[in-house]
Structure 1
Amino acid sequence: MEKRKINIVDTTLRDGSHAVSHSFTIDQVTAVAEGLDKVGVSLIELSHGDGIAGSSVNYGFSKTNELELIKAASKVVKNAKLTVLLIPGIGTIEDLQEAKENGAQAVRVATHVTEADIAIQHIKYAKSIGMMAVGFLMMAHMASPEKIVEQAKIFMDCGADYINLADSAGHMLPDDVRARVSALKNALDIPIGFHSHNNLGLSVANSIAAVEEGATYIDATCRGLGAGAGNTQNEVLCAVLNRLGYDTGVDLYGIMDVAEEILEPIMQRPQVINTASLMLGYAGVYSSFLLHTYRAAEKYHLNSRDILVELGSRGMVGGQEDMILDVAYELAQKTKQ
């Protein structure tokens, strides 16, 4: 029986940007991108952690302009599709055009799980200029399978090549993933992808659950580098998928070498599940909030766990990073009373 193909989408140079405070250099990016391309990764995602044009006061400034990084990576990526993330309201159609001119071949347009309609124009534009376009639904734990299907159909109807479901908080359990991916699989006639965070230690298990329910695009990063406790660890995922009999098209020894010899020396710290990142998953808070929360806790002399629980109770979502300081300030005032 022919093995089912699983496309590996490596987001080390995008989600991993959060974990290094957006400090990737041209030399680092070209080394990682070239390594990933040579070992058979299907898509290589590169941008600021919050997408193209994310470099800002709110989200953190990039050490090197992302357009320069994209242009440099495009010179060494020969087989994979060089991909960018775009969050409407942060990035614009003009930013997408510039990314395309600098070598990007695909875009994943990311919205909150209930707000797919704000991405219609971006997906249509991407298709009109010859790019692969993906509808990316963030914070998927915050919506029912039925609601997710409704939102995914908005993406599908405007031309998305596939739908990517993101457990942005690392909050979901395998059964949560199964329910959502199976609902999409039964309702759509385009492929489904899945993006996981490891805040509860379940990213590989959740990714396998997605595959077993029909997902064919799975996000991962070398060494698990990413926001919060990181993403699904690429070399581990490929090993598990190989053992299960799936075809990733990725050279297993090769991806191990990229992770150990190229990526690991760049990392500022090991990617582990510490107390704060565990709390992200437990409270269902957006993973990229972690470093912002650390800074707010230090500024106002608070326990970062208290801030994260409060953010979760308020249903904060990606794009509201600027509110973290406000929440911390309010908590600090209460402690003084």
Structure 2
Amino acid sequence: MTPVVVHDPTLRDGQHAVRHRLGVAALRGYAEAADAAGVPVVEVGHGNGLGASSLQVGRAAVSDDVMLSTVREALRHSRMAVFMLPGWGTSDDLRKAVGHGADVVRIGVHCTETSLAERHLGFLAEADADAEAHCVLMMSHMASPAELAEHAARVVAYGARAVGIMDSAGHFLPSDVTERIGAIAEAVDVPVIFHGHDNLGMAVANSVAAAQAGARIIDGCARGFGAGAGNTRIEVLVPVLERTGFRTGVDLYALLDAAEFAERELMDAPPVTGSLSIVSGLAGVFSGFKHQVLDQSAKAGVDPRDVFFELGRRQAIAGQEDLIADVVAHLRDREVPA
């Protein structure tokens, strides 16, 4: 069987679903459960990564330092990962994360703006840190397979020891994933990553397609805990990968227990592929916009589905939350009789 490393961002990406309000007990409890299941990598942080706790995208319940120290103490076997978006996090944030014992550091950039990763990947290399530097290309549906392969090769040259794509809007079908992962796998000689979202109900199928096309690091969250329709459900992903011929090394019963804990302690209810999530996926818009779109649309009396399609037309990306207000105002004014 072909080995695949399962990477679990429940305690980071899941924060989007609860407005970044996970506290110490929840962080510790899930980290211990994932560790007991043999999940290889557990990622923790604010939903938007290191340094992102703010009024603009939401303040976390506890600081980065508290999150990292809590999860580091809880993990006996699993590696700890962190995520950073340039512009939110800084080299100082990376330095502190490494000091807290982060084993994997992911730098996330828009799929065609990989030059933004150069400084931080270079910092990790120059710091001679033990942490393994990865880079993920976000909103990857906005670039062709050839473009993604080119940018993946570029970040490997910058120092990334693994590279891959995020289907940030849950827009892909399996054939889309096969083409993109295949192109990247041919272009680089490091492990390839795939991170799926479930807006169109395709996250597990897309993840299997990624593994079959050459991805060797696949992401999954307990109960799909994440923005909008959520992420690939790890408790489904692992047995499906195993049935498809991939070895994960994860204990199924313990993983199911971890998922039960997550549903009981981390979330009000598991994410669902609701109407707005479907529209988000079709429009190709980051799922993390959901709460702000709903809040601002309700105040202005406009249809949130129209907001998502207009954001998609404007090619909005993560970090451009300020566009939501512009789009809402535009739609409101357009609907007011002259």
**TM-score category (smaller protein):** over 0.9
Number of matched residues? 335
Identity of aligned pairs, percent? 39
Query: In the alignment, which of 43, 46, 64 is matched to residue 45 of structure 1?
Result: 43
Q: Could you tell me which residue of structure 1 aligns to residue 228 of structure 2? A: 228
Alignment deviations for residues 26-55 of structure 1 (CA, whole Å, 9 cap, x no partner): 110011011111211111111111111111
Mean CA deviation greater in 212-221 or 117-126: 117-126
Alignment check: 8 A CA contact 1:52 1:95 kept: yes
Alignment check: 8 A CA contact 2:222 2:262 kept: no
Matched residues in 1 for 2:270 and 2:252: separation? 21
Alignment check: 8 A CA contact 1:223 1:264 kept: no
RMSD over aligned CA atoms reads 1.1
Matched residues in 2 for 1:32 and 1:41: separation? 11
Query: In the alignment, which of 109, 122, 139 is matched to residue 107 of structure 2?
Result: 109
TM-fit CA distance, 1:262: 4.1
Matched residues in 2 for 1:67 and 1:327: separation? 36
The 3-state SS of whatever aligns with 1:36 is helix
Alignment check: 8 A CA contact 1:39 1:255 kept: yes
**Residues 136-175 of structure 1 mapped to structure 2, 5 A cutoff:** 136-175=136-175
Structure 2 unmatched ranges of 5 or more: none
Matched residues in 1 for 2:122 and 2:78: separation? 22
TM-fit CA distance, 1:143: 0.2
Structure 1 unmatched ranges of 5 or more: none
Q: Could you tell me which residue of structure 1 aligns to residue 15 of structure 2? A: 17
Partner amino acid, structure 2, of 1:47 = G
Change (3 A) 1:185 1:320: same
Q: Could you tell me which residue of structure 2 aligns to residue 265 of structure 1? A: 265
- For the pair 1:253 / 2:253, whether they are aligned, the reply is yes
Alignment check: 8 A CA contact 2:285 2:311 kept: yes
TM-fit CA distance, 1:164: 2.1
Mean CA deviation greater in 197-206 or 300-309: 300-309
- For the pair 1:68 / 2:66, whether they are aligned, the reply is yes
Partner amino acid, structure 2, of 1:332 = R
Alignment deviations for residues 198-219 of structure 1 (CA, whole Å, 9 cap, x no partner): 0000000000000000101000
The 3-state SS of whatever aligns with 1:194 is strand
Mean CA deviation greater in 270-279 or 213-222: 270-279
Normalised TM-score (structure 1): 0.97
Q: Could you tell me which residue of structure 1 aligns to residue 80 of structure 2? A: 82
Alignment deviations for residues 45-82 of structure 1 (CA, whole Å, 9 cap, x no partner): 11111111111121111111122011111111122221
